[in-house]
Structure formats: structure tokens, C-alpha cells
């Protein structure tokens, strides 16, 4: 028996029909296996007089999780909701595949997105789902194409059950509705496979880091009509930050049922539970982060343990009428609960000098908050392919619905400082160890300045209908056009109880049309030139201080660029220029803490981005990015920030990660090495540009050895993050109930992780 590896399925079939008959398995790169059966006497099958091979049997079955090995990604449904290749799509979409996450030992979405141009992590209170994309903050995450978290309310997404992470650059409203204009983050979870695959991995590292993750999948029935998958992780660690820790478990069982060859149904349940300590970061002094150790916390060791949990139940149904037409339905229900408390700088809002005195004294009090949210999302898509004259069409018609309700309650004191809680940022030790009774007593009553506004009830309900046509002419010219109409009903109310807030909930109705058009021309096989224009629509559902409503936010983008596929289509690169504006941006009214003024600003981001991902050879893999971003405030009706740079957005940033597999990435044995870096220039810390975060370069590296022992593959790996042990600062925190000057998030120093993984 002989095994022949073929890079493309079509080529594999061609060779099978042309005479490659000794192959027991032809492995296709798109996760299919073509198997041919030899004759009983073991001899090569006879050819006909025409030279054709008489094949006794050809079957196509699913592979094991082989695509976890490669950096090459040729398709992403995020950009079009169809199977159009990325290279043929006139938009910028980047994919971080599972192989990159495994090599970098990624545990959270925010760390994986360091590989994508123009994306910056901006976590809040230690949560990991805050990002800046093309200059604009986005705390929404889509899961398998549906919105997974409520606006403005933090949660956490563990990377253990992810197959890939897609980033669609620019406004994505045409297919996904409510989204920030900078871009969309869509996580794709692992799906059940027909063939057995089992993996167990143990990681350990700096700061008492322990993480166990597992993955098991296979067919339940002999006919493979029913398959399962069970993934999960458990992680426990402390931190380089004093008093900060994390204890998280995530499980994700799923099943796929195929009653017929043309129909499949997948049911997935994901549960996550996390105990942790919220982290406010460190303050700024003058125009730089305070000159104190990055490990220093200005919270307290006796702060209560914080907690966040979420449960998501999802279904996906696909039915193919024939080779060209299909219908798809997805449903996602999410339930999230969060509690956090901390010793908060006070007063929270207004000038930071009121909380941080010139001698380094930070005035504080004790604050807490709790959130319960429910989210429901579904869509129904019809996709089809047909020819009209000399043109080929790939069409999409769909409808989606999203509804979320949030209950938010805050308590304790955030505005009036307690002199007994003053702490000196340069010598905090004497102030550590707050009496637990004081903490519990303060959190047991509403804040004295809330005036009956400490309970929030919010409702978001969205309907959207959309269409899209991707037209191909002469196999070189791709024209994409489409649009979406949204109907939104939103409302937010702060009152003295949930019942009163819900009873007085306003209903703000908005509607609008969002078009998208794009064109891509391929003068040669390896090169595509593209451009697009698109808009976004986002309702402003926050309350005004006088009870009035706001016009919806609008985004608009013009983009042009180049795409290329090299090295036998295994390396994909995108170079893009964009000009993006966002209008009707609400301005916080700090005098009322959680309400907004009647005015709205306008912001603009423009720049150049480069992304490269894939394989150069079987030995060399890489993922890299560069971004030049000029993001500024254009109009400021309520202040003097017009012309200022937008916060936490470096003018220059980039990343590079290169891996070398001594025996090739598909080998079951041998050494692998990788080295990379993340770089960011200086960034403004707030809209007033009153302080700056210094630029930095962080180097990372890993080494691994894999070996085959019988049917089992064992991989040992050692990763170092921040190899040169540089001090740096990731971002300021926009949602920690303090001004940006009081919430700067430091990056981790040198961190080592060792791991051993067993697969069979």
C-alpha cells in the first residue's frame, strides 16, 4: 500500500482517474480523504484500452482534525456568509487559524487578535472581550455568525473550543446588523467530526499557571449519521499583578445529526464559570503612567472574589436542495451573570486630580456591580449559484433577529471618597488589609449620590433583512453588491428598582438601509485588485440627561487594496487602504455618571494595513501584520478635542510570527521552532490627549518536539512570552468607572509556559 498526499481535492480526483491506483488514501488539503480499494489479489487495477483506470470504489470521508496543523486559510464565511474564497472577495477579512493559537498557546480571544493588523486589545477590569479595530472600540463578539454578548456588558471567551477567529474589517452592517464600523470579530467553534480524534493537554507556567484542555470527537453510529464533540478547559493562575488571580472552567459538548446526505443539524451547549479579581490597573502621573512597579495593585487583598458565568445554547441547520441551492438556519441563546467589586478611586468621574492628589495619595471608596443579561439571536439564509449568460452568480437572501435584555445594579460608593481608605501609590503597603466588615457594609447599601438611579433595565430588539449577489465575469472580475434594512427598538432606563426601570422603559424606534458594493479584478492568477464602499447603522439606545432620544450612529468606509496568493496558493496577503468615518457618537455627561449629553461627535480613521498568513514551504509558516492608523476626532460639539488623536490607537503597529518545522508541518515527528514579536508606537491615553502610553516591542518564542508512539502522538512544547522582559502598557480602560488617567493596564513581564499534549 502506498500513500500519496495531494494538495487539492480536484487534483486528487484527476490523478485517481488518470492512473494513481496504488493509493490507499489521497489526502486533500480541504479536509477530505479519497480512498481507493485494491483488488483482492493485491495487484494494480487494470487500465482500459483508452488508458483510463477502472476504479472498484471511491469513497469520500471526513478526516481527523488535520487542518489544525496549517496556517493556510483560503475560505471564510464571515465576509459573505457563503463559501466564496477570501481571494475572490472584495473586502479585507483576516483569519487566525487553530494552528496559530496552538503554537502561541493562546487562551483568550484578545491574545489571538494581536496577529491581525489594526486590532488592539482594550480589556476592561481584566475581562478579555474589548477590542479596538481600525481606531474604533468594539466589545461585541459574534459566535458562528450570531451576536453572542450584550452591548457594553463584559464577559469572557475562552479559546479552548475555537477552530478559528475571523476579523472582517470595516462596517459589517450589511450582513450582521448592529456592529461598530471598525470591524467585526467572529469566533468559529469546533464542530463534530466523523472520524475519531482525541486530545488531552496539560500546561503549566509562571505565576502558578495551570491549564488543562481536552478535545474528543467521533461518530456515534456505524453509518456516521450521528457524531459528537466534547471540548473543554480548566485554568487556574495567579498574576504578575498583586492580588489578581483567575479560576475558570469551560465545557462545550456538541452533536451533529445527518438524517440524510443533504441535511445536517448541530446542537451545541457551552458553559463557562470564572472566579477572578477585577483589576483597575495603575494611574497616570503627568503625561506618562505612574513610575511605580507594574505589579502594584491599588485595590486590596481583602476585596471580594469577582465572578462571571455564561451559558450559550446554539443550533445550526443546513439543508441542500441540490449542488447549487441551500438553506441555513442558526439560533443562539446566551445567559450571562457577572458580579464584581473593588476599592475604586473616588470621585470616579471628572478631573483625575480630584482622586489622585499631588503627593501620590489616591482617594478611594468601595464599589460593586452586578449584571444579568439574556440574548437571543437567529437567522435564516438562502444561498444559491446559477449562470446567467456568461456571468456566474452566487446569491444570498436572508433575515435575522436579535433580542437582548440586561439588568444592571450598582451599589456602594463611587463618588464620595472615604478618608480611611486613602492609599499612597508610592508606598501602598500600610493601607492594605481593609476590614472585611467595612467592605460588606459599604456594598450593602445604595450609593448616596445615586438619587434612585442605581437599577438599570435595557432592551434591544433588532430585525434585519438583507440580500447579496456576487457576480463573476470571465473568471477574473468579481462584482459584489448588496444591502440591508434594519428595524431597531431600543430603550434604557435607570431607576430605583428593576420593576420601576422596566415599567418606565422608553421605546426608541430606528430604521435604516445599509448598502455595500465591491469589485475585484484578477489580472493574473496570483493578484487581485479590489475596492469597496459600505456603511453601518447602530442605534443610540443610551439615555439622555433630559430624556430625549438620539439619532442612530452612522459609519461609512471607502477601501481599496491588493490581494495575492503565492507558493501554490498556500500564502495569502492583503494590502488595504481605507477611509472610515463614524457620526452621531454620544458624549458622556460626567455630572450624571451614567447618562449622556444631547450632543454627538464625529470621528475619522484612515490608514494602510498589511496582513500575510500561510505557508511558504512545508517547513516555514508565518502570520504577520502592519498597520498605519490615523484616527482622530473630527467634530467635538461639547469640548475642545477636535483634531486630537483617538485614544489607545498607535500610528504604527505590527506583528510577526514565524515557525519552522524541521520535518515539515505534516510530519508526526521532529522539532519545531518559532519566534515572533508585537510592536506598537506611542498612543494617546484619552481623548484630551493629556497623557501618552510609550511604544514597545515585545518578543515571543517557542520550541516543540513531537513524536509518534504507536497510534499516539505526543507533543512537548515550551513558550516564552515577552522574551526580553520589557515593561509596557497595553491600553487604558474605558469601562472601569474611572477616567482613563486612573486605569492603565500594564502588559505582562517575561512569562514561561510548558505543555505536553497527547493525541490519538
Ordered DSSP codes for 104-130: HT--BHHHHGGGSTTEEE--STT-S--
DSSP SS3 for 676: strand
**Tell me, what's the pLDDT at 140?**
85
Q: Inform me whether the pLDDT recorded for 552 exceeds 90.
A: no
Cell of 313: 445554547
**Tell me, what's the pLDDT at 608?**
98
Q: Express each pLDDT in 191-239 by its tens digit.
A: 999 999 999 999 999 999 999 999 999 999 999 999 999 999 999 999 9
**Tell me, what's the pLDDT at 280?**
86
Question: b/e map of 278-310 (b: 16 or more CB within 10 Å)?
Answer: bbbbbbbbeeebbebebeebbbbeebbebebbb
Q: Inform me whether the pLDDT recorded for 750 exceeds 50.
A: yes
CA distances 346 to 240, 292, 349, 419, 748, Å, are: 25, 20, 8, 10, 27
Mean pLDDT for the chain?
86
Confidence band of 3 (pLDDT split at 50, 70, 90): very low
Burial zone of 389 (CB within 10 Å; 0-12 exposed, 13-18 middle, 19+ buried): exposed
DSSP letter for 419, please. G
Q: Inform me whether the pLDDT recorded for 586 exceeds 80.
A: no
**Tell me, what's the pLDDT at 173?**
76
Grid look-up 464620595 returns 416
Find the helix or strand (DSSP H, E) in which 100 lies.
Answer: helix 98-104
Q: Inform me whether the pLDDT recorded for 307 exceeds 70.
A: yes
Q: Which residue has the higher pLDDT, 543 or 54?
A: 543
Of the candidates 306, 330, 351, 369, the residue with the CA atom closest to the CA atom of residue 127: 306
Of the candidates 759, 630, 733, the residue with the CA atom closest to the CA atom of residue 65: 759
Cβ(718)–Cβ(703) below 8 Å: yes
Q: Inform me whether the pLDDT recorded for 402 exceeds 60.
A: yes
In this prediction the pTM is 0.88
Q: What is the per-residue DSSP string for 478-514?
A: EEEEEEEEEEEEEEEEEESSHHHHHHT---EEEEEEE
- For 735, other C-beta atoms within 10 Å of its C-beta total 17
636: preceding bond cis by omega (within 30 degrees): no
**Tell me, what's the pLDDT at 63?**
43
**Tell me, what's the pLDDT at 544?**
56
- Distance of alpha carbon 640 from its chain centroid, rounded? 33
For range 248-253, the mean pLDDT = 97
Q: Which residue has the higher pLDDT, 132 or 14?
A: 132
For range 495-512, the mean pLDDT = 89
Q: Which residue has the higher pLDDT, 597 or 166?
A: 166
**Tell me, what's the pLDDT at 703?**
98
Grid look-up 424606534 returns 509
So what's the architecture of 188-759 in CATH?
A: Beta Barrel (2.40)
**Tell me, what's the pLDDT at 7?**
38
Strands 596-615 and 571-588: antiparallel
For range 430-458, the mean pLDDT = 90
Confidence band of 437 (pLDDT split at 50, 70, 90): very high
DSSP SS3 for 601: strand
How far is 594 from 721, CA to CA, in rounded Å? 38
Confidence band of 394 (pLDDT split at 50, 70, 90): very high
- Reported as half-sphere exposure (CB side, CA atoms, 13 A), residue 227 has a value of 23
**Tell me, what's the pLDDT at 545?**
56
**Tell me, what's the pLDDT at 149?**
82
- Distance of alpha carbon 710 from its chain centroid, rounded? 37
- Reported as half-sphere exposure (CB side, CA atoms, 13 A), residue 278 has a value of 29
- Distance of alpha carbon 264 from its chain centroid, rounded? 26
Q: Which residue has the higher pLDDT, 32 or 548?
A: 548
How far is 714 from 759, CA to CA, in rounded Å? 6
How far is 421 from 478, CA to CA, in rounded Å? 64
- Greatest extent of the chain over all pairs of C-alpha atoms, in Å: 98
Which residues have CB under 8 Å from 630's CB, separation 6+? 605, 606, 607, 651
The domain locations on the chain are: 1-63, 188-759
For range 515-529, the mean pLDDT = 96
Q: Which residue has the higher pLDDT, 554 or 407?
A: 407
How far is 559 from 92, CA to CA, in rounded Å? 9
How far is 107 from 234, CA to CA, in rounded Å? 11
CA dihedral of residues 299, 301, 303, 306 (deg, nearest 10): 90
Confidence band of 550 (pLDDT split at 50, 70, 90): low
Confidence band of 669 (pLDDT split at 50, 70, 90): very high
For range 312-322, the mean pLDDT = 97
**Tell me, what's the pLDDT at 353?**
86
Cell of 430: 500600610
Q: Inform me whether the pLDDT recorded for 441 exceeds 90.
A: yes
For range 266-281, the mean pLDDT = 94
How far is 257 from 487, CA to CA, in rounded Å? 34
Q: Express each pLDDT in 696-747 by its tens digit.
A: 999 999 999 999 999 999 999 999 999 999 999 999 876 556 788 998 999 9
Of the candidates 742, 726, 604, the residue with the CA atom closest to the CA atom of residue 289: 742
For range 131-135, the mean pLDDT = 92
Question: Minimum mean pLDDT among 15-24, 150-159, 410-419, 680-689: which range?
Answer: 15-24
Q: Express each pLDDT in 100-124 by its tens digit.
A: 999 999 999 989 999 999 999 887 6
**Tell me, what's the pLDDT at 46?**
38
**Tell me, what's the pLDDT at 296?**
96
In the sheet that 32-36 helps form, which strands lie side by side, from edge to edge?
2-5, 23-28, 32-36, 58-62
Of the candidates 270, 277, 271, the residue with the CA atom closest to the CA atom of residue 254: 270
**Tell me, what's the pLDDT at 278?**
86
Amino acid at each position: 500500500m502506498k500513500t500519496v498526499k495531494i494538495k487539492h481535492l480536484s487534483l486528487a480526483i484527476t490523478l485517481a482517474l488518470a492512473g494513481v491506483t496504488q493509493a490507499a488514501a489521497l489526502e486533500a488539503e480541504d479536509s477530505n480523504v479519497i480512498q481507493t480499494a485494491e483488488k483482492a489479489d493485491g495487484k494494480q487495477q487494470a487500465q482500459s484500452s483508452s488508458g483510463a483506470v477502472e476504479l472498484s470504489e471511491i469513497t469520500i470521508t471526513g478526516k481527523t482534525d488535520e487542518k489544525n496543523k496549517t496556517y493556510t486559510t483560503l475560505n471564510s464565511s464571515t465576509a459573505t456568509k457563503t463559501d466564496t474564497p477570501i481571494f475572490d472577495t472584495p473586502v479585507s477579512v483576516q483569519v487566525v487559524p487553530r494552528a496559530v493559537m496552538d503554537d502561541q498557546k493562546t487562551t483568550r480571544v484578545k491574545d489571538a487578535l494581536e496577529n491581525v493588523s489594526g486590532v488592539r486589545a482594550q480589556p476592561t477590569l481584566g475581562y478579555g472581550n474589548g477590542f479596538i479595530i481600525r481606531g474604533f472600540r468594539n466589545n461585541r463578539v459574534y459566535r458562528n455568525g450570531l451576536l453572542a454578548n450584550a452591548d457594553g456588558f463584559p464577559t469572557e471567551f475562552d479559546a479552548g473550543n475555537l477552530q478559528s477567529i475571523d476579523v472582517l474589517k470595516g462596517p459589517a452592517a450589511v450582513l450582521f446588523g448592529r456592529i461598530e464600523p471598525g470591524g467585526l470579530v467572529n469566533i468559529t467553534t469546533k464542530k463534530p467530526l466523523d472520524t475519531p480524534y482525541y486530545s488531552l493537554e496539560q500546561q503549566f507556567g509562571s505565576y502558578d499557571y495551570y491549564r488543562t484542555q481536552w478535545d474528543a470527537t467521533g461518530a456515534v453510529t456505524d453509518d456516521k449519521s450521528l457524531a459528537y464533540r466534547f471540548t473543554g478547559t480548566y485554568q487556574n493562575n495567579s498574576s504578575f499583578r498583586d492580588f489578581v488571580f483567575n479560576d475558570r472552567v469551560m465545557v462545550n459538548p456538541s452533536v451533529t445529526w445527518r438524517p440524510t446526505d443533504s441535511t445536517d443539524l448541530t446542537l451545541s451547549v457551552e458553559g463557562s464559570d470564572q472566579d477572578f479579581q477585577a483589576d483597575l490597573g495603575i494611574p497616570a502621573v503627568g503625561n506618562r503612567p505612574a513610575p511605580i512597579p507594574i505589579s502594584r495593585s491599588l485595590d486590596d487583598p481583602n476585596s471580594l472574589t469577582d465572578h462571571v458565568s455564561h451559558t450559550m445554547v446554539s443550533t445550526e441547520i443546513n439543508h441542500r436542495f441540490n449542488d447549487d441551492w441551500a438553506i441555513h438556519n442558526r439560533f443562539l441563546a446566551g445567559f450571562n451573570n457577572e458580579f464584581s467589586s473593588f476599592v475604586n478611586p473616588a470621585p470616579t468621574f471628572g478631573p483625575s486630580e480630584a482622586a489622585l492628589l499631588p503627593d501620590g495619595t489616591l482617594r478611594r471608596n468601595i464599589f460593586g456591580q452586578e449584571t444579568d443579561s439574556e440574548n437571543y439571536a437567529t437567522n435564516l439564509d438562502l444561498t444559491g449559484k446559477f449562470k446567467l449568460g456568461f456571468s456566474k452568480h452566487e446569491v444570498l437572501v436572508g433575515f435575522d433577529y436579535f433580542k437582548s435584555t440586561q439588568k444592571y445594579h450598582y451599589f456602594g460608593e463611587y463618588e464620595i471618597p472615604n478618608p480611611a481608605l486613602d492609599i499612597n501609590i508610592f508606598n501602598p503597603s500600610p493601607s492594605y488589609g481593609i476590614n472585611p466588615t467595612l467592605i460588606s457594609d459599604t456594598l450593602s447599601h445604595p450609593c448616596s449620590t445615586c438619587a434612585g438611579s442605581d437599577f438599570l433595565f435595557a432592551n434591544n430588539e433588532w430585525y434585519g433583512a438583507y440580500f447579496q449577489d456576487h457576480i463573476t465575469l470571465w473568471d477574473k472580475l468579481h462584482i459584489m453588491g448588496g444591502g440591508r434594512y434594519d428595524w431597531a427598538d431600543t430603550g434604557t432606563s435607570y431607576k430605583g428598582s428593576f420593576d420601576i426601570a422596566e415599567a418606565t422603559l422608553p421605546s426608541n424606534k430606528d430604521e435604516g438601509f445599509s448598502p455595500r458594493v465591491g469589485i475585484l479584478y484578477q489580472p493574473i492568477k496570483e493578484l487581485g485588485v479590489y475596492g469597496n464602499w459600505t456603511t453601518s447603522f447602530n442605534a443610540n439606545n443610551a439615555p439622555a440627561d433630559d430624556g430625549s432620544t438620539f439619532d442612530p450612529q452612522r459609519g461609512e468606509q471607502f477601501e481599496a487594496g491588493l490581494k495575492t496568493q503565492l507558493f501554490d496558493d498556500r500564502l495569502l496577503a492583503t494590502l488595504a487602504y481605507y477611509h472610515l468615518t463614524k457620526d452621531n457618537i454620544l458624549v458622556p455627561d460626567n455630572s450624571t455618571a451614567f447618562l449622556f449629553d444631547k450632543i454627538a461627535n464625529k470621528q475619522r480613521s484612515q490608514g494602510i494595513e498589511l496582513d500575510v498568513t500561510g505557508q511558504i514551504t512545508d517547513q516555514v509558516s508565518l502570520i504577520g501584520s502592519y498597520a498605519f492608523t490615523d484616527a482622530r476626532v473630527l467634530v467635538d460639539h461639547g469640548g475642545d478635542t477636535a483634531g486630537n488623536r483617538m485614544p489607545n490607537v498607535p500610528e504604527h503597529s505590527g506583528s510577526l510570527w514565524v515557525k519552522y518545522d524541521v520535518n515539515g508541518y505534516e510530519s508526526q515527528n521532529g522539532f519545531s521552532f518559532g519566534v515572533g514579536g508585537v510592536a506598537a508606537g506611542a498612543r494617546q491615553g484619552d481623548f484630551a490627549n493629556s497623557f501618552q502610553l510609550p511604544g514597545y516591542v515585545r518578543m515571543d518564542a517557542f520550541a516543540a518536539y513531537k513524536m509518534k508512539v504507536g497510534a499516539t502522538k505526543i507533543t512537548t512544547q515550551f513558550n516564552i512570552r515577552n522574551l526580553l522582559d520589557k515593561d509596557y502598557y497595553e491600553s487604558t480602560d474605558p469601562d472601569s468607572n474611572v477616567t482613563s488617567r486612573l486605569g492603565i493596564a500594564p502588559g505582562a513581564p517575561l512569562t514561561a509556559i510548558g505543555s505536553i499534549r497527547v493525541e490519538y
